[in-house]
């Protein structure tokens, strides 16, 4: 039942409207009060909270339109019906601009009043329905926000389209025309990275407008800073805030690199710049790398038989070779260095840290040069496999796997040929989406060309079709995963885009000569 307030300075009119409503419409409407002026209407509205106000236009003091304007500003859902003795266009026009539902001329008939009340009632019902839907939408958005945020960071990291990126930013309710992407690297060692990341993310969320993406590989995350213009740069302020609010353990700083301000749909480009800045830093001299600073600190406190100076000198030399693009020299140095670990009393954490520094430097250098995709780079700097091997006590297997990962990256650099932009995009599409159910058609659609043209270009430039390239890449990744302790054949199959583990096993045997289980067991025997 709708609550009605009647406002008119003519008492006979108030009585007449009251009588019509009570006699004919009492099942749907109840009169909660009457007023004789605009001021009284405003006061009674605050006390009685009516749903519908039948408002006279001309009254002493505050007019009906002024009263409506005052009441409407409070924001509560109301339906207004004007009641007047004069049919004037200027009044009707202003009334419509204020959201008045109907316009009644005196004297008011029963039929005309019924129509006006029904219009006002329908208007209120629509308002209430919209309010409920808005609440539902807000609740849905709150629940979807984490997924939408992850999707936005996936777009930034894997080169999503401008339209997709812009849509996700809008859907998240972020009002910004430009933005900056960044990369934050957290120190490892004895530090609880997950806890440090959570505190870092909370600082950004509650003290700035910036956002931190999911923690990748247990060591880094992507950053997004929304901006109102291209000249609105806040990266320095955020860096200072984090350093002041969240000092890292043992004086280590959280490394942060940022790209350039870009239009909001081009955040992937800003992320690539940030990642290249990070790669250049890691590939440079050792003091420029936060990871290397950490390892140098560990070496200073090393109690083993190997002094810190030769250890750091060797590491610095390898990083310098990588930074200069002398990959074969770096490979020879790295190979002899890791072989020497077999006879040295090195702590496992130092071995893992040194391997992580070298592999990160090489992967960053190759990615910055366009030789490998971001997904390949991320896979190379993921230390979970090496950590698991080291924790199992298999020192020889750890050293062998370090060299395999290094040489695999080096092979990627040697195999990088001057493919056309279309083929490079297709190869990167395979690397970024090999775990999904992709096809020649989906790759062509993502690039924006026809499947026939993509198939022809790949055959001409790589000597293999799309399907063969996809299978070979999946088998390469499958072999890497099968070396990882704890990975079952079914898990590897699904991670490489094959929901049917039996089909995967048959295909793997056809291409390698071994079943996935035989391959994994053979590697375990070789590793000792």
Is the domain spanning 421-526 CATH 1.10.10.60? The answer is: yes
**Bridge partners of residue 256, in order along the sequence:** 184
The CA-based dihedral angle spanning residues 190, 194, 199, 200, taken in that order and rounded to the nearest 10 degrees = 90
**Residue 524: pLDDT above 70?**
no
Per-residue confidence (pLDDT) for residue 306, from 0 to 100: 39
With contact defined as beta carbons under 8 Å apart, do 474 and 438 qualify?
no
Describe the chain by its helix, strand, coil percentages, rounded to 5.
Answer: 65, 10, 25
pLDDT interval class at 50 (50, 70, 90): very high
pLDDT interval class at 18 (50, 70, 90): very high
Among candidates 46, 53, 39, which has minimal Cα distance to 6? 53
What tokens appear for 152 in the block? Answer: 């936005």
Per-residue confidence (pLDDT) for residue 21, from 0 to 100: 93
Reported pTM: 0.42
**Residue 300: pLDDT above 90?**
no
What tokens appear for 413 in the block? Answer: 């650099």
Using CB atoms within 10 Å of the CB of residue 424, give its burial: 0 to 12 exposed, 13 to 18 middle, 19+ buried: middle
Residue 3 Cα distances to 32, 124, 346, 513, angstroms? 6, 11, 82, 82
Rounded to an integer, the average pLDDT of 40-69 is: 90
CA 129 from centroid of its chain's CA atoms: 32
pLDDT interval class at 292 (50, 70, 90): very low
| Residue whose structure tokens are 């419409």 | 25
Residue 392 and residue 463: Cα distance in Å, rounded? 41
pLDDT interval class at 40 (50, 70, 90): very high
Rounded to an integer, the average pLDDT of 1-16 is: 92
Instruction: Name the most confidently modeled range: 24-38, 325-339, 386-400.
Output: 24-38
Per-residue confidence (pLDDT) for residue 20, from 0 to 100: 93
With contact defined as beta carbons under 8 Å apart, do 91 and 65 qualify?
yes
Q: How many percent of the chain have pLDDT more than 70?
A: 78
Q: Which stretch of 315-329, 421-435, 477-491 has the lowest confidence by average pLDDT?
A: 315-329
Residue ranges of domains in the chain: 2-132, 159-278, 421-526
With contact defined as beta carbons under 8 Å apart, do 7 and 93 qualify?
no
| Residue whose structure tokens are 């770096």 | 330
With contact defined as beta carbons under 8 Å apart, do 131 and 77 qualify?
yes
CA 256 from centroid of its chain's CA atoms: 18
Rounded to an integer, the average pLDDT of 303-330 is: 61
Q: Which stretch of 376-385, 403-412, 452-461 has the lowest confidence by average pLDDT?
A: 376-385
Per-residue confidence (pLDDT) for residue 286, from 0 to 100: 32
Render pLDDT for 239-248 as a digit per residue (tens, 0 to 9).
666 666 555 4
Half-sphere exposure of 286 (CA within 13 A, CB side): 19
Among candidates 228, 204, 2, which has minimal Cα distance to 122? 2
Render pLDDT for 317-348 as a digit per residue (tens, 0 to 9).
777 667 666 677 777 788 888 888 777 777 77
Q: Is the peptide bond before 107 cis (omega within 30 degrees of 0)?
A: yes
Per-residue confidence (pLDDT) for residue 296, from 0 to 100: 39
**Residue 96: pLDDT above 80?**
no
Per-residue confidence (pLDDT) for residue 297, from 0 to 100: 41
Residue 527 and residue 401: Cα distance in Å, rounded? 9
Render pLDDT for 398-418 as a digit per residue (tens, 0 to 9).
888 888 888 888 777 656 555
- The residue with greater pLDDT, 152 or 157, is 152
What tokens appear for 335 in the block? Answer: 């190979």
What tokens appear for 139 in the block? Answer: 């609740």
- The residue with greater pLDDT, 463 or 82, is 82
Instruction: Name the most confidently modeled range: 51-55, 80-84, 293-297.
Output: 51-55
With contact defined as beta carbons under 8 Å apart, do 388 and 486 qualify?
yes
Per-residue confidence (pLDDT) for residue 294, from 0 to 100: 39
Residue 168 and residue 148: Cα distance in Å, rounded? 7
Please enumerate in sequence order all residues whose Cβ is within 8 A of that of 155, keeping only pairs 6 or more positions apart, or say none: 161, 164, 165, 168, 267, 268
Residue 251 Cα distances to 238, 254, 290, 292, 293, angstroms? 18, 10, 11, 14, 11
**Residue 489: pLDDT above 80?**
yes
With contact defined as beta carbons under 8 Å apart, do 19 and 44 qualify?
no
Among candidates 355, 377, 325, 347, which has minimal Cα distance to 220? 377
Rounded to an integer, the average pLDDT of 102-125 is: 90
Per-residue confidence (pLDDT) for residue 111, from 0 to 100: 92
pLDDT interval class at 39 (50, 70, 90): very high
Per-residue confidence (pLDDT) for residue 232, from 0 to 100: 63
Residue 469 phi/psi, 5-degree rounding, is -65, -40
Per-residue confidence (pLDDT) for residue 52, from 0 to 100: 94
Residue 246 and residue 206: Cα distance in Å, rounded? 13
Per-residue confidence (pLDDT) for residue 233, from 0 to 100: 60
Per-residue confidence (pLDDT) for residue 309, from 0 to 100: 47
Helix (H) or strand (E) holding 221: strand 220-227
- Superfamily per CATH, domain 159-278: Elongation Factor G (Translational Gtpase), domain 3 (3.30.70.870)
With contact defined as beta carbons under 8 Å apart, do 16 and 108 qualify?
yes
Helix (H) or strand (E) holding 130: helix 110-158
**DSSP-assigned letter for residue 261:** -
Rounded to an integer, the average pLDDT of 254-278 is: 84
Which ranges in 187-307 belong to alpha helices (H)?
193-207, 235-245, 267-283, 290-300
Residue 40 and residue 36: Cα distance in Å, rounded? 7
Rounded to an integer, the average pLDDT of 177-206 is: 80
SS3 450: coil
Rounded to an integer, the average pLDDT of 160-175 is: 82
Half-sphere exposure of 509 (CA within 13 A, CB side): 9
Among candidates 101, 94, 104, 105, which has minimal Cα distance to 122? 101
**Residue 130: pLDDT above 50?**
yes
Could you say which of 3.40.50.620, 3.40.50.2300, 3.40.1400.10, 3.40.50.12780 is the CATH number of the domain covering 2-132?
A: 3.40.50.2300
pLDDT interval class at 252 (50, 70, 90): low
Residue 276 and residue 491: Cα distance in Å, rounded? 32
**Residue 260: pLDDT above 80?**
yes
Per-residue confidence (pLDDT) for residue 189, from 0 to 100: 53
With contact defined as beta carbons under 8 Å apart, do 519 and 489 qualify?
no
Per-residue confidence (pLDDT) for residue 295, from 0 to 100: 39
Per-residue confidence (pLDDT) for residue 137, from 0 to 100: 66
Please enumerate in sequence order all residues whose Cβ is within 8 A of that of 170, keeping only pairs 6 or more positions apart, or say none: none
Per-residue confidence (pLDDT) for residue 128, from 0 to 100: 83
Per-residue confidence (pLDDT) for residue 48, from 0 to 100: 93
């Amino acid at each position: 039942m709708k609550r009605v307030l009647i406002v008119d300075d003519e008492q006979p009119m108030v009585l007449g409207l009251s009588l019509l409503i009570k006699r004919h419409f009492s099942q749907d409407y109840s009169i909660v009060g009457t007023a004789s002026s605009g001021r009284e209407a405003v006061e009674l509205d605050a006390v009685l909270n009516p749903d519908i106000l039948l408002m006279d236009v001309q009254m002493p003091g505050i007019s009906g339109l002024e009263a409506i304007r005052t009441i409407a500003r409070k924001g509560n859902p109301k339906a207004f019906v004007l009641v007047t003795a004069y049919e004037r266009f200027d009044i009707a026009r202003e009334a419509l601009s204020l959201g008045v539902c109907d316009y009644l001329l005196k004297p008011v008939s029963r039929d005309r009043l019924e129509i006006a009340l029904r219009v006002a009632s329908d208007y209120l019902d629509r308002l209430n329905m919209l309010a409920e839907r808005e609440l539902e939408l807000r609740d849905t958005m709150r629940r979807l926000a984490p997924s939408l945020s992850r999707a936005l960071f996936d777009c930034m990291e894997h080169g999503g389209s401008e339209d997709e990126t812009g849509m996700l930013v809008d859907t998240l309710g972020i009002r910004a025309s430009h933005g900056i992407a960044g990369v934050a690297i957290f120190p490892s060692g004895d530090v609880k990275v997950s806890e440090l990341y959570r505190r870092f993310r909370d600082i950004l969320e509650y003290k700035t407008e910036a956002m931190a993406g999911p923690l990748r590989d247990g060591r880094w995350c992507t950053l997004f800073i929304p901006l109102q213009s291209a000249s609105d740069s806040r990266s320095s302020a955020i860096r200072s805030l984090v350093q002041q609010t969240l000092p890292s353990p043992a004086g280590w700083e959280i490394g942060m690199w940022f790209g350039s301000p870009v239009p909001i749909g081009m955040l992937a480009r800003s992320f690539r710049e940030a990642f290249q800045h990070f790669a250049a830093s890691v590939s440079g001299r050792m003091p420029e790398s936060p990871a290397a600073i950490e390892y140098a600190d560990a070496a200073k406190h090393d109690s083993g038989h190997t002094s810190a100076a030769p250890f750091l000198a060797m590491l610095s030399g390898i990083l310098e070779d990588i930074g200069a693009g002398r990959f074969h020299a770096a490979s020879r140095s790295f190979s002899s260095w890791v072989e020497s670990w077999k006879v040295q009393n090195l702590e496992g954490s130092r071995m893992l840290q040194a391997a992580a520094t070298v592999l990160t430097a090489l992967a960053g250098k190759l990615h910055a040069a366009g030789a490998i995709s971001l997904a390949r780079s991320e896979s190379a700097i993921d230390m979970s496999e090496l950590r698991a091997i080291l924790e199992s006590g298999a020192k020889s297997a750890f050293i062998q796997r370090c060299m395999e990962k290094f040489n695999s990256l080096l092979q990627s650099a040697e195999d990088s040929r001057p493919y056309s932009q279309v083929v490079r995009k297709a190869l990167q599409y395979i690397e970024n989406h090999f775990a999904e159910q992709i096809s020649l058609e989906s790759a062509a659609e993502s690039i924006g060309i026809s499947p026939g043209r993509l198939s022809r270009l790949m055959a001409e430039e790589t000597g293999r079709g799309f399907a063969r390239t996809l299978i070979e890449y999946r088998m390469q990744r499958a072999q890497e995963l099968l070396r990882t302790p704890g990975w079952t054949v079914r898990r590897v199959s699904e991670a490489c885009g094959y929901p049917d583990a039996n089909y995967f096993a048959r295909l793997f045997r056809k291409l390698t000569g071994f079943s996935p289980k035989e391959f994994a067991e053979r590697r375990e025997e070789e590793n000792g």
